[in-house]
Amino acid sequence: MIEQQKQEPEIPYLTRIQVLGAMGATAIILLIVAKVSLHFGNFTLLSWKLNQRDLLLGVGLGFVITALSGLTYRLWNSYRQSADFYLEVVLKPLALPDLIWLGLLPGLSEELLFRGVMLPALGFNHLAVIVSSVCFGVLHLSGSQQWPYVVWATIVGMILAYSALLTGNLLVPIAAHITTNWVSSYMWKTWQLSGSKK
């Protein structure tokens, strides 16, 4: 019988302050890149309009992505190992209230850059969806063994990009991204906390 080995991190385990600091720094860098791109580029930011229909559509899409992630987690062993590693490095040090930032910071900054700026900059077409989604996936690379997580993040990026392409409203992928991060991280964190009490 082949024994599964736990993946050892290529990056050291981080403290709560380091994870929050890294999230904040990444959000700031992505916002700066988006702002500079808008300043020097010959395109406009994908607009976002606050309306109830698109907000609910985004939240619903976030739940669909979370369900698909759970299904992928159950069916694809390599992804399960990759996701467990990623979640342990990123989520384990965080307290439950920190999950608010885990939803908001990436949800806003990543959507602004990858869907709000890159989609219109690359032509707002199928090629733009693919390129921006691959870049989004690579952003989630935290080690050479993390390719399954990158593949999944790329697929999620495509879902988010097509939601922006079809609705023309950046609010949809923002709401979906924040919802996905909140729901999946809360489920993982409560599962971890209940397991540690046994």
Tokens 């063994």 correspond to 145
Helix 52-75 × helix 171-197 angle, to 10° = 50
pLDDT score at 118 = 97
- Whether residue 175 contacts residue 60, with contact meaning beta carbons closer than 8 Å, is answered with no
pLDDT score at 2 = 44
pLDDT score at 111 = 98
Rounded-to-integer distance, Cα 6 and Cα 82, Å: 10
Report field, pTM of the whole predicted structure over 0.85: yes
* Domain assignment of residue 120, yes or no: yes
- Whether residue 176 contacts residue 61, with contact meaning beta carbons closer than 8 Å, is answered with yes
Q: Is 14 left (phi over 0), alpha (psi -120 to 50) or beta?
A: beta
User: What is the domain count for the chain?
Assistant: 1
pLDDT score at 4 = 47
* Domain assignment of residue 128, yes or no: yes
Q: Supply the range of the domain harboring residue 146.
A: 16-197
* Domain assignment of residue 7, yes or no: no
pLDDT score at 196 = 60
**What is the token pair recorded at 108?**
């806003």
Residues in the chain: 198
* Domain assignment of residue 2, yes or no: no
Taking only the tens of pLDDT, the chain with its 198 residues reads 444 444 454 556 789 999 999 999 999 999 999 999 999 999 999 999 999 999 999 999 999 999 999 999 999 999 999 998 888 888 999 999 999 999 999 999 999 999 999 999 999 999 999 999 999 999 998 777 889 999 999 999 999 999 999 999 999 999 999 999 999 999 999 887 777 655
The DSSP symbol for 43 reads: S
* Domain assignment of residue 178, yes or no: yes
* Domain assignment of residue 35, yes or no: yes
* Domain assignment of residue 58, yes or no: yes
pLDDT score at 1 = 45
* DSSP state string for 139-185: HT--SGGGHHHHHHHHHHHHHHHHHHHHH--THHHHHHHHHHHHHHH
pLDDT score at 59 = 98
* Domain assignment of residue 82, yes or no: yes
pLDDT score at 109 = 97
- Whether residue 46 contacts residue 164, with contact meaning beta carbons closer than 8 Å, is answered with yes
